Amino acid sequence: MTGPCPCGSGRRYAVCCGALHGGVRAARTAEALMRSRYSAYVLGLDAYLLESWHPDTRPQALDLSREQTRWLGLQIHGTVAGGPDDATGQVRFTARYRLEGHDYRLDELSTFARVNGRWVYVDGETG
Express each pLDDT in 1-25 by its tens digit.
Answer: 789 999 999 999 999 999 999 999 9
Q: pLDDT digits over 48-100, tens only?
A: 999 999 999 999 999 988 889 999 999 999 999 999 999 999 999 999 999 99
Domain boundaries, the chain: 13-126
Instruction: Give the global pTM.
Output: 0.96
Yes or no: domain 13-126 corresponds to CATH 2.170.130.30: no
Helices (H) and strands (E) in the chain, counts: 3, 4
Q: How many residues does the chain have?
A: 127
DSSP 46-58: HHHHHHTB-TTT-
